[in-house]
Structure 1
Amino acid sequence: MVLDLDVPFAEMLSIGATPAGRRRIAPVAGGSFSGDRLRGTVLPGGADWVLNRADGVMLIDVRLALLTDDGARLYLTYQGSFRAPDDVMARFNRGERLGDDEYLLRTVARFETGAEAYRWLNDTIVVGIGHQRAGGPRYHLFEIL
């Protein structure tokens, strides 16, 4: 595992129905991350650009700036999807809390940094599993060797 990532959201901004689907932007209010080789905080200013497609799939496109406990700055981006049966997705869209077994939240992540101690992240391929939580999702990110 590379790290666990908690990303609480601020209020969701609705862009509305577009030709691609229903577009929303969820600013990230902060958060934290921890793992065997790095830990720190999520800096303000990131967001999740959400697209709800007509087929019921919710696509996510997240971009974050991270600050490690030793002062390094990292850029993290991940894309993925939230998939659930129509009735479960309707409950999710009403703000209901779902059971972890009712949906799939999967991501592919990439890191960028100029910090020498973390340059290994620039070439690391990472996949993630997300879980819905009251304040926002929590992700478990795994390095692919």
Structure 2
Amino acid sequence: MTVHARAKAVETIRTAPLFDIVVDLNPRLEFGNGGALGRRVLFGAAGGSFEGPGLRGEVVAGGGDWALFRPDGTMLLDVRLTLRTDDDELVHMTYQGRWVIPPEVRAEMADPATRFRIDPARYYFRTNPLFETGSTRYAWLNDVVAVGTGYLVDGGVAYHVERVL
């Protein structure tokens, strides 16, 4: 039996804005080349902020992205952050993702003084945030699947995050 004979039409995936987040970064820490897997780098979170409909606050320093740069230049994200809402609740945010920089953009991306000016449409930077909190006010986040589009900003990285409905 073929797959399409058992597949059903389902609702088209829809999203709604959750928040925009800017994560300020510490100087990166290089773990070096791990062989065939690639080069491991820690981009430590130094702080930041987030804001969206009904949700805003700060990024607590201390999390980060334990990124792996594959030999083909694609970065695999492995991020853990702590968010503190403006009403003092804590939310654990994790995400993985892919940042694919085409070969023709890599030379420009190598300059830390100007790479944040590169149009994000010239690369693919997507994430899949998940959340965990014990807060009763934000417990709804425990059941949210989100998607994010990333881009560089001066001194850090930013994401537009959408909740999958």
Q: TM-score category by the smaller chain?
A: over 0.9
**Does residue 131 in structure 1 map to residue 151 in structure 2?**
yes
- Return the TM-score normalized by structure 2: 0.84
State how far apart, in whole Å, the 2-side matches of 1:80 and 1:31 are.
20
Aligned pairs, number? 145
> Does 1:57 pair with 2:74?
yes
1:47 aligns with 2:47: no
TM-aligned CA deviation for residue 140 of structure 1:
0.5
Taking the aligned partners of 2:43 and 2:73, their CA distance within structure 1 comes to: 18
The amino acid that maps onto 2:86 is D
Give the C-alpha shift of residue 93 in structure 1.
3.2
Q: Which residue of 1 aligns with 2:25?
A: 9
Deviations for 1:4-55, whole angstroms, at most 9, x for unmatched residues?
A: 1100100000000002101100110000000102100011110111111012
5+ residue gaps, structure 1, are none
Give 1:35's aligned residue: 52
* Residues 102 and 52 (structure 1), Cα distance of their counterparts in 2 relative to 1, 3 Å cut: same
SS in 1 for 2:25: coil
Quote the Cα distance in structure 2 between the aligned partners of 1:16 and 1:87.
24
RMSD: 1.1
Aligned identity (percent) is 43
- Tell me how far apart the structure 2 counterparts of residues 79 and 85 of structure 1 sit (CA, whole Å): 20
How far did residue 87 of structure 1 move?
3.0
Indicate the SS of the match to 1:120: helix
Asked if 1:110 is matched to 2:110, the reply is: no
Runs of 4+ in 1 over 3 A off after TM superposition: none
2:31 maps to amino acid: I
Q: Max radius of gyration: which structure?
A: 2
- Aligned: 1:68 with 2:88: no
Unmatched segments (≥5 aa) in structure 2: 1-16
1: CA distance between counterparts of 2:55 and 2:149?
18
Q: What letter is aligned with 1:60?
A: L
**Partner Cα distance (1:22, 1:89) in 2:** 16
Structure 1 SS opposite 2:99: strand
**Aligned CA distance change for structure 1 residues 50 and 93 (closer, same or farther; 3 Å):** farther
Q: What is the TM-score when the length of structure 1 is the normalising length?
A: 0.95
